Amino acid sequence: MFFLYLCWKEVIAMLHKTLNIRGTLTSLDTPLVMGILNVTPDSFYADSRKQTEAAIEKRIQTILSEGGRLIDVGGYSSRPDAAEVSPEEEMGRLAFALKILNTQYPDVPVSVDTFRAGIARWAVEEYGVAIINDISGGELDAAMFDTVADLNVPYIMMHMRGTPQTMQQHTAYTDMMEDIMLYFAAKVRQLHLRGVNDIILDPGFGFSKTVDQNYVLMSRLPEFKEFGLPLLVGVSRKSMLYKFLGGTPADSLNGTTVLNTFALMNGADILRVHDVREAVEAVKIINKLAH
């Protein structure tokens, strides 16, 4: 009987989601908060833009002091109608922040937000970046899946149609949820065939979706549990909030916290946010209620 008990405990442990980050298994039993570090001059949320060394360092310290466990660095704004950025410009912006992170905060897991395989490889090999966050799910660079497999790092795969410049022209679905689920099913299989196991799904709130579609997607978040993979939710100060409630990104913290809380109650494992303290508090309260 004791042996059967041990075997059952092992089965339960296997069901717990983890990420292999730099050779260390990171548990997702308690959801993680990922702080956004934007080094773009044109991010949709003006207050998130960090353009100087002092501003970048202050932002890193804020994320960590408020309880953020991951830092996501982006050098290419993916807001609707964002200007095209050359690979060289994106790399130059990223290098500014990655150098600080790599030298002063080497133990902090860093994610790079890029859809370019060459930049993903450069970031991992030159600066020890731990995670690749691809808004295009490999659609904008055919080499991305092979590159992630070769680098052997966790891969955040988001659902989007088109490009950041055209995505809001691609919101017509016969069945949005079926389309998204089939999209992920096919791509997860492609990644598994390449030996990529640490896959994080991002439904892509705000990408190729209308305001109403974003709320349908949020209401059906539990369906992503079918994949048995970690789920990242990124709704921080997005237009699904201020276009519905009124105001601007600067007015959208309360709405963000409401949606983050709902997401945590419905399967989110990682929250990607501008406002770390509020997200960490939401995680603590939901965790308290669950135990």
For the chain, list the strands marked E by DSSP. Answer: 18-21, 24-27, 32-38, 70-74, 110-113, 131-134, 155-158, 199-202, 232-233, 270-273
200 and 230 in contact (C-beta within 8 Å)?
Answer: yes
User: 183-189 long-range CB contacts below 8 Å, 24 or more apart?
Assistant: 183/137, 183/159, 184/157, 184/159, 184/224, 184/227, 185/227, 187/137, 187/138, 187/145, 187/157, 188/157, 188/227, 188/229
Phi, psi values for residue 42, rounded to 5°: -135, 25
Q: Which residues are known catalytic residues?
A: 238, 272
Judged on CB neighbours under 10 Å (0-12, 13-18, 19+), 10 is exposed
